[in-house]
Chains A and B, each alone.
Chain A
């Protein structure tokens, strides 16, 4: 299944990159398709490539497909703002007219929505909470709907057929993954208590996986490469870890056994920090991996245009090299999508497991070397 995805995405990539380089050739573009955001790179010739790339991996209030001259093919998304002073306001992001207009007392500045007063100055007295359906949020919901549809239909199949049946269709894709999470992630780390945590671990795994995979589709949002998204997941992990602690664990933190008194004084803050560093590492690892992957792919694609600006021939000359690199990194990214989902789940399970076994040995010895995993 992974390989099919890889082939599909690589083909996509090739197609889109070809389209973008072809369009570069005929500056008077003919019928344009919804091109991947790589196309974005050349639309703002005046922008720096680095800014374009960063803009692409960031969240935004609209789905931007491509721009051609002054025509911007975008899908505006709903903006939801709650302000204690002004109440709730909901409107389409198209009202901002690409940031040229203020609407309803709000102005959009570089994807940030700020409240303004009647005179058009930024109003500092108003607090505004941006709860908009941004690109990331919408795509996360698409991912969730997909996940629910797949899992519930599979679950229905299981229910209907009972234990005596042979798995068919999508069950064959899902079942090995579920058994993998159960037998290779939950059971070894949580031993006899694994059943309590298994639904959570499975949900985390598939939630991250589906968003990783959707994020790889050209032109889509970079959901798992968003620090807020990973922050929420790791905070939930932290809560789950803390819920599963016992007196034993805290005794171990505040009075590490088998060490001299002075070392205890050093170890206590270290152990305390460790509790928060572990989920923080989870957060940064997922975010950095996914974002870096996107940035690398975009960089390779942008290289064509950078060379092209210097000399058209150089742009064409470099495009096959760039494409080859892009495809290679793309396939690696698909692997990474699975690996990162696994690592997040596995380390969460490891950290939960550590709270059980504070009885023997030093926890950090088992946990710390895995922090280096990137």
Chain B
């Protein structure tokens, strides 16, 4: 069958042709084309990578900002808290102090009152003593003269004391 018999001429020419085409294309076509394609793909890959990097950096910045903000908020809160605490403490201190002062004044006053009372009592006692002594003196003087009179006199005296 003619169809299945390879012709010598075609084998010869095809071999030469293919090798020549391979060499020419390898040097002048595939090399620059593949190189350019690779460069372009690298460029694109780099662009994507750098975009990704920028994105990450942005995210990082955002994160940092957020942490900063959070920190600032926290600090503000602490500051506020501390201020409030200080204010509270001051108020409490003032109250305590006022209370202490009040108590001190109270105790002082009480002490003064007690003292005065005591001194008043002492006065009274003295006066009573004096009065008793006087009464006793008078009683003793009257006794010597008259018994009935004595008793009315004592009554009188006692009434006088009561009136006093």
> Which residues from chain A sit less than 8 Å from chain B, CB to CB?
54, 57-59, 80, 110, 129-134, 136-137, 140-141, 144, 147-148, 151-152, 154-155, 158-159, 161-165, 174-175, 178-179, 182, 198-200, 202-203, 206-207, 226-229, 231-233, 236, 291
The distance in angstroms between the C-alpha atoms of A136 and B11, with both chains bound, is 11
The distance in angstroms between the C-alpha atoms of A228 and B13, with both chains bound, is 10
* CB proximity to A under 8 Å, residues B82-105: none
> Which residues from chain B sit less than 8 Å from chain A, CB to CB?
2-15, 17-18, 20-22, 24-26, 28-34, 36-37, 39-40, 42-43
Inside 8 A of A130's CB, which chain B residues have their CB?
7-9
The smallest beta-carbon distance between B41 and chain A, in angstroms, is 9
| Of the residues A80, A140, A161, contact of B17 by C-beta under 8 Å | A140
Inside 8 A of B21's CB, which chain A residues have their CB?
144, 147-148, 203, 207
| Of the residues A174, A203, A227, contact of B22 by C-beta under 8 Å | A203
Inside 8 A of B43's CB, which chain A residues have their CB?
163-164
The distance in angstroms between the C-alpha atoms of A43 and B31, with both chains bound, is 50
Given A130-B7, A134-B10, A236-B18: A203 in contact with B26 (beta carbons within 8 A): yes
Given A54-B3, A136-B10, A137-B13: A232 in contact with B18 (beta carbons within 8 A): yes
Given A54-B2, A134-B7, A182-B34: A148 in contact with B25 (beta carbons within 8 A): yes
Verify B22–A199 contact, CB threshold 8 A: yes
Verify B15–A151 contact, CB threshold 8 A: no
Verify A179–B6 contact, CB threshold 8 A: no
| Of the residues A174, A182, A226, contact of B10 by C-beta under 8 Å | A226
The smallest beta-carbon distance between B126 and chain A, in angstroms, is 122
Among A129, A134, A158, A200, chain B packs the most CB atoms within 10 A around the CB of A158
Verify A131–B9 contact, CB threshold 8 A: yes
The smallest beta-carbon distance between A57 and chain B, in angstroms, is 7
The smallest beta-carbon distance between A38 and chain B, in angstroms, is 19
The distance in angstroms between the C-alpha atoms of A226 and B9, with both chains bound, is 12
18 A-B contacts (beta carbon < 8 Å) = A54-B3, A58-B2, A58-B3, A131-B13, A140-B14, A155-B33, A159-B32, A163-B40, A178-B37, A198-B34, A203-B21, A226-B6, A228-B6, A228-B7, A228-B8, A228-B11, A229-B10, A236-B15
Given A132-B9, A232-B15: A158 in contact with B3 (beta carbons within 8 A): no
Inside 8 A of A228's CB, which chain B residues have their CB?
6-8, 10-11, 14
Verify B37–A203 contact, CB threshold 8 A: no
| Of the residues B12, B17, B20, B25, contact of A131 by C-beta under 8 Å | B12
- In the A-B complex, the 8 residue pairs with the smallest Cβ-Cβ separation, listed nearest first, are A163-B39, A228-B6, A228-B10, A151-B29, A158-B36, A199-B26, A232-B14, A155-B29
The distance in angstroms between the C-alpha atoms of A231 and B18, with both chains bound, is 12
Given A147-B21, A175-B37, A178-B34: A227 in contact with B8 (beta carbons within 8 A): no
The distance in angstroms between the C-alpha atoms of A232 and B22, with both chains bound, is 14
Inside 8 A of B25's CB, which chain A residues have their CB?
147-148, 151, 199, 202-203, 206
Verify B3–A129 contact, CB threshold 8 A: no
Inside 8 A of B36's CB, which chain A residues have their CB?
158-159, 161-163
- Given A163-B43, A199-B34, A226-B6, list of 20 further CB < 8 A pairs? A59-B7, A129-B8, A131-B9, A133-B13, A144-B20, A147-B25, A152-B28, A154-B29, A155-B28, A159-B32, A162-B36, A164-B40, A174-B33, A198-B34, A199-B30, A199-B31, A231-B11, A232-B11, A232-B18, A236-B18
Inside 8 A of A144's CB, which chain B residues have their CB?
17, 20-21
Verify B18–A178 contact, CB threshold 8 A: no
Verify B4–A227 contact, CB threshold 8 A: yes
Among B5, B20, B34, chain A packs the most CB atoms within 10 A around the CB of B34
The smallest beta-carbon distance between B103 and chain A, in angstroms, is 90
Q: Which residue of B lies closest to A141 (CB)?
A: B17
Q: Which residue of B lies closest to A153 (CB)?
A: B29
Verify B3–A227 contact, CB threshold 8 A: yes
| Of the residues A131, A152, A161, A207, contact of B18 by C-beta under 8 Å | A207
Among B3, B31, B40, chain A packs the most CB atoms within 10 A around the CB of B3
The smallest beta-carbon distance between A348 and chain B, in angstroms, is 13
Inside 8 A of A159's CB, which chain B residues have their CB?
32, 36
The distance in angstroms between the C-alpha atoms of A174 and B25, with both chains bound, is 14
The distance in angstroms between the C-alpha atoms of A131 and B17, with both chains bound, is 13
Inside 8 A of B18's CB, which chain A residues have their CB?
203, 207, 232-233, 236
Inside 8 A of B13's CB, which chain A residues have their CB?
131, 133, 137, 140-141
The distance in angstroms between the C-alpha atoms of A129 and B30, with both chains bound, is 35
Verify B29–A152 contact, CB threshold 8 A: yes
Inside 8 A of A164's CB, which chain B residues have their CB?
40, 43
Q: Which residue of A lies closest to B30 (CB)?
A: A199
Verify B28–A198 contact, CB threshold 8 A: no
